[in-house]
Structure formats: C-alpha cells, structure tokens
Chain A
Amino acid sequence: MADEEGNARRLHTLVVRVENKAGVLARVAALFARRGFNIDSLAVAPIADDHFSRITIVVDVESAPLDQIIKQLDKLVNVVSIRELSPDELVERELMIITVAAGADAAALAAEHGAVVLAESGHHTMYSITGPTAAIESFEDALLPHGIVELQRTGKVALDRLDLA
C-alpha cells in the first residue's frame, strides 16, 4: 500500500468481471458517483466469453477506503468478481492518439518514444503510442512544446503478470 517514500498509494487497479448486459456500466458509474468514490480511469470491453465484460478501473482511494469501494461494487448483482492487481503483479498498458502542430522531426520523435506516426500533413502530425502510463505521459510532455491540437487516452487496461518475465 505504500510507495518507496512510504506514502500510501492513492491509485489502485481493480479488474472487475461483469455480466455483459445493458446498463451494467451505468450501474458501476452511478455507484461511484452516489457513494462519492473517485474513478481515475475506466476501460471496458467484452472478454472471450461474450456473456461477460472486463472492466479495468483505476480508483483513487483519497475519498473512500479501497475495502469499502470493493464491497459496495461487489453488491451490484451484475458484478461477478473483483480483484485488485498489485503493482508488482500486473502488466498495464494505455493507448494515446495525439495530434500536434507539424514542425518536429516526427519520425525521430516517434522512434525515441516508441510511438508511431499515424498521419502527417503540412500542418499536423498524428501519433499513437501504447505503453505504461509513465511512457504515455513522458511522450505527451515531449509534444507539449509543439502545440497539442487534440488527444485521447483510453485509460489503463491491465492483466496479471503470471510467470511472464
């Protein structure tokens, strides 16, 4: 629960398996709003068995204890299971696509950050990048001086690391 400086960790990654039914995302979102819980990011999509969806929620525990958030979520009838992925045990990724004013050496910048140039014109460059949140944010910082026209991040998705190195 604490980082290297001994501060309590505010962001926790929950993997929530839900029934793939109409309105389930609304129930989850409404619960967070009504109980005053904070969502940092949320990503949802059906899994291989399309009766179920998997939601990756990054919650901010400043307003409510993690225990209370998990127990209240668990009371939703359509929520099948909830698991917290600890930072050591998970692989997490996020996708960002971002459009900036043209000007930099796009290919070099993309290569340096592991990003991809999706499209270019005389005026604009559009990149995409997939990676851990820190990599996404560092790329965004690098593009800041060029003038960001528009960007969209997906929020984190995460899986267990299992035995994978």
Chain B
Amino acid sequence: MTTNGGEALMRALEMEGVEVMFGLPGGAILPVYDPLLNSSIRHILVRHEQGAGHMAEGYAHATGRPGVCMVTSGPAATNIVTPLCDAYMDSIPMVAITGQVPYAAIGTDAFQECDTTGITMAVTKHNFLVTKASDIPQVIHDAFHIATTGRPGPVLVDIPKDIVDPNNPNSALEWYEPTGHDLPGYRLHPDPDPELVGRAAELILASERPVIYAGGGILKARAADALRALAELTDIHVVTTLMCRGGFPDDHPLALGMPGMHGTYTAVTAMQESDLLIALGARFDDRVTGRLDGFAPEAKVIHVDIDAAELNKVRTADVAIQGDARLAIEAIIESLKLAGAPDAQADRKGWKSTVSGWLERYPLTYDDHRPGDPLKPQHVLETIRDHSPDDTIVCSGVGQHQMWASQFWKFNHPYTWINSGGLGTMGFSVPAAIGAKVGKPDRTVWSIDGDGCFQMTAQELVTASVEKIPVKVAILNNSYLGMVRQWQEMFYEERYSEVHLSKNLPDYKGWAEAMGCVGIRVDDPDEVEPAIQRANEIDDRPVVIDFRTDATEKVFPMVPSGATNSDLMVHPSQAEERA
C-alpha cells in the first residue's frame, strides 16, 4: 500500500499502542497534524512545549506506558530539552517526535531550524534523524523499543518536513509492518548471574545489620511485590528513595521512609550504621549518600541494577549484579530459601530493637501552629493526605514542598508519587499532574506545588480546563523560593538574596479562575480542611488552592551540604534529646 510519511507516522504510533499524545503544532510538523485528524490517538494541545514534555513524563510515571509528545522544529524542540533531560535523569520511558526543516534545507540556517539531534544527544537515551520516508515505520518501532526496555529513557525522533508532506514526492513509501529491530549495539541483560545471586544470599544471611536500599528501579521493573516478599521473608527494613516512594508501603512495619539529605532520622541512620546495604535499582545519588567517604562506612554492598554503568560507579559493591530488579529479587528469594532463610539468618534482635528505638525517638515532626501565624505547610499536607483516597496520585515540583510531600504523605501503593528527582525541575508538578490524570482518569490527582514552581508552568491549567482534566493543585505559598531561603537562613547568616517573590502577587485565586479553574485562597487553619473537602468533591474542572504558609518553616531532618550523613540535623525540638 502506497502511503506518505505523515500517515505512516500516525499509523506507526497507533501500532505501538499510543492512545494519547501531548503536543503543539507548527510549521515543520504541520503535515503530521493533518492525518492526526483521522487517527484514534487523543491529542492534548498544550500552551507551551515544556508542558507537553512533562505531561508525557507524568503519564509515563502513572501508567508505566511510554509518554509521547510531538512538537515542531527549532524553538519547540529546544523547549522540550528540559523534559527530555528530566526523563533521562529519572529513567522515564518517553518518545518525543520533533518536526525538522526539509532534509535538503538542513544546515542552511533555515527558518525554525536547529540541530535538534545534536542538542538532545546528551539528554536522550538515543535519538534519530529520519532521512527517508520509508524508514519511518522501522524508526518508530525502534524508538519505542529503546525507550521502554533495559533502563528506560527518552528517545527523540526528528523528522524533516519533506518526508511527511504528501505534496512532496520524498514522502511516498510503501507501508510495511516492522518485524524486528536491527540494533546490533543494543543488547539487554535482564537475567541476573546465578552465582552472584548465590553470593548475595550468603551476605544477606550473614548480615547482622542489613538495610534494603530501594530505588526507582523497583518501580521501573514492576518489582514492588517482589521487594515486599524479600523484605518479609528476611525481616529486613526498607528505605525508599525519593524515586521509589510508594515502591514499598509506608504503613508496613519494615518501612523506614526516605533516606538522604532530607530523609527520616531512622532511614539515614540505619543506612549509616548498617553492615550490609542491599541496593536494588538505586544509584547512590549524592543526595542519598552525603559526603561519600563518610557514607555507611561499615557496610558491605549488594548492588542490583539493569544498567551496568551504575555498578561500581559511585560506591564499590561487594556483589554487583546486572539485571532486571524484579528478576534479581525473585532469584535472591529463591536462593535464600534454598539456603534455609529465614531460619538460617544471623541474629538481628539487637539491631531490630535499635532501629525501633530510633523510630520511636525521632519521628518526623514540626512545630504546632500558633494563633495568628500563617499555615504550617506540613499540616496542610497531612490534611490533604487524610481527606483524599488512599490511592491518590501526588505530583510535586522541586523544593521544600517536594520534601515535605515526600516526608508527610503516606505512600502505600506504587505509582502514586510523581516528582522530578534527578534533574530537580521546578515547574514539573502542574503539567506532570495533568499527564498523570490523563493516564489515570479515575484517580484523584493532587499537584503539591510551591509558589515559585507554580509560576513556571501554570499556563497548562488552561490546557487542563479546556481538555476537562480535573487535577487539583495545592500551592504551598510562602511567597519565597523556600529551599533557597532555608539555605540562606542556615548557611548564609540570614542574608536573603533574591528569594522573596511577592506577598500578594500574583493573585492565585484570580489567576486560577481566569484559567477556568476553581480558585480558593486559605489563610486560616480552620479553613484548610473544608477547602480540601470542597476540592476533592469537584470533578468537572481543575481546582487551585492558594495555601498561605509560614515562610520560616524549614525542612528537617537535614544533612548539610558537604557533611556526612552522621551529621544529620534533626528538628530543633529533638536536637537536645539527641545531644
């Protein structure tokens, strides 16, 4: 069947199971938007291309399926560089389609030309510049394969206009269904080495102070059930990194919460005092380890990762296993059972009682609200948590609100926490929440945002209103770039430089209403709960609540930058007790 590149692209996307894409048309991609009208694919028209990228990420986070965005050439392509980098850092499966100037015009500085594949080389798992219409079906098939297998990541496909324009003879092709992949350099290694698995099991049995260090790979590998089985078989505590919140239920007796710079006292200290870290799909990020030469000094390390380059990159492992996290955990469980677990395990009574003591003495805490003060952001979070469904999806931006959300929410289900971990992209929350809601329309989706973050991508709430995507946004509005303010207060002698936004500008309620949302402003603690209840009842449009919060609140615990995790600063109310 003779067809053209634009129709072939749409058909190829449909064959990959794409149901939704996020995008914005323009000159070079224009011919593709015509066959879109005849396609089964739902297209969400964004207001800024960055929004399309983050929506695709949020969709992928929530559903596990690749997020797809499509934008034109030049400035549109550069506008998705941030989402691509974000997806690359957090291993999010994503396929981005970009228009390009006609192949013959490449290199001539044509209108809206930029070197998209050159620019995105460092922020994609792989990218393609398609040069022939007949390559389109195969390249799309390859792009989805690369994005979704191994360590997932973003793949960009750059398509010159002439090969998708039916009025151009270069666009003609005979349609075919790709039957496989000709990618001789792309090999997958999902199966763990049985000998290494056996050695891991031996270390686990012998360990007296083991901790499971669960990272984002648990969620990518759909390994939450396997992780739980391992933890319960061995009775070992689990810390869940920022990328793994929800990967192990927070209400489980073995859950210690988040490790790292703003982790719980017990998660941080248990890792620090451990004699065996069982790192599963985690990458020893600097925000987790603190100063590396003082990190978990007595711990041996078992490290499981699908990406061989993560093994021994930061911390040398005693047993380094390349493989899919789920398959590796299942193999370790089998090996442990053969070796007589749990009966054959070392005595851990002392360790368990030490950990329980920490949990009891150092829970997350914050100061009580005093009459007349602004709202406590932690209280707002707890109230949203307690009045929303257990499987609510929470999306955050980056900063204090992100850390509080990760700390104070109880994540009891996988794929309920969506945030920008590696890149730390302010403005991620609102579009990611929209993407998540599109992927999971039956779930309540709360965007927990800061006022600084909100102002970066709020325009996408117009998209949400028009497309009837009823997300809920809680702005923890302290009128500051709060995390920077916290550092300036603590480490720059309260010399506040360029961190105050504005007490009353913008008018968030008015802005929300102008974008077609319900806008609510809350100053009084007594109004917090009714506002949240009201928001949770609204299901036909987005809701934005402007919570006026206390700017002096800081995120605790905290490991100061450059310090070891042994120098964790607890909440001031617990500091004396600790000394």
Contact = CB atoms under 8 A, between A and B. Distances in A.
Contacts, number: 38
Interface in B103-119: 117-118
A104 interface: no
B146 interface: yes
Interface stretch (B36-44, B180-188, B403-411): B180-188
B89 interface: no
Contacts of B307: 75
A67 B312 contact: yes
Nearest to A17: B185
Contact of A71 (B117, B118, B308): B308
Interface in B276-326: 307-309, 311-313
B121 A30 contact: yes
B185 A76 contact: yes
Interface string B114-146: 000110011001100100000000000000001
Contacts of B117: 23
Nearest to B187: A74
A18 B118 contact: no
A19 B121 contact: no
Interface in B149-186: 183-186
B309 A72 contact: yes
B129 A80 contact: no
A26 interface: yes
B308 A74 contact: yes
Contact of B122 (A22, A30, A80, A81): A30
Given A18-B185, A71-B309, A77 B122 contact: no
A77 B121 contact: no
Contact of B309 (A18, A19, A68, A80): A68
A20 to B, nearest CB: 11
B185 A26 contact: no
B118 A77 contact: no
Interface in A80-111: 80-81
A26 B121 contact: yes
Nearest to B122: A34
Tell me if A's interface is mostly helix, strand, loop or mixed. Answer: mixed
Interface residues of B, number: 18
A159 B122 CA distance: 31
Given A67-B312, A75-B307, A22 B184 contact: no
A27 B129 contact: no
A19 B118 contact: no
Given A68-B313, A71-B309, A75-B307, A26 B118 contact: yes
A23 B117 CA distance: 9
Contact of A77 (B129, B183, B308, B312): B183
B452 to A, nearest CB: 29
Given A68-B313, A75-B309, A19 B185 contact: yes
B308 A80 contact: no
Contacts of B125: 77
A80 B187 CA distance: 9
A79 B129 contact: no
A83 to B, nearest CB: 14
Count chain B CB atoms within 10 A of each CB in A23, A34, A74, A77 and give the residue with the most: A77
Contacts of B308: 71, 74
Interface string B353-397: 000000000000000000000000000000000000000000000
Nearest to A78: B185
Contacts of A68: 309, 312-313
B121 A80 contact: no
Given A22-B129, A27-B121, A34-B122, A77 B309 contact: no
A139 B433 CA distance: 66
Contacts of A80: 184-185
18 contacts: A19-B184, A19-B185, A23-B118, A23-B129, A26-B121, A30-B121, A67-B312, A68-B312, A71-B309, A72-B309, A75-B307, A75-B309, A77-B126, A77-B183, A78-B185, A80-B184, A80-B185, A81-B185
**In the complex, the 8 A-B pairs of residues with the closest C-beta atoms, listed nearest first:** A71-B309, A77-B126, A80-B185, A79-B185, A80-B184, A77-B186, A71-B308, A72-B309
Interface of B: 117-118, 121-122, 125-126, 129, 146, 183-186, 307-309, 311-313
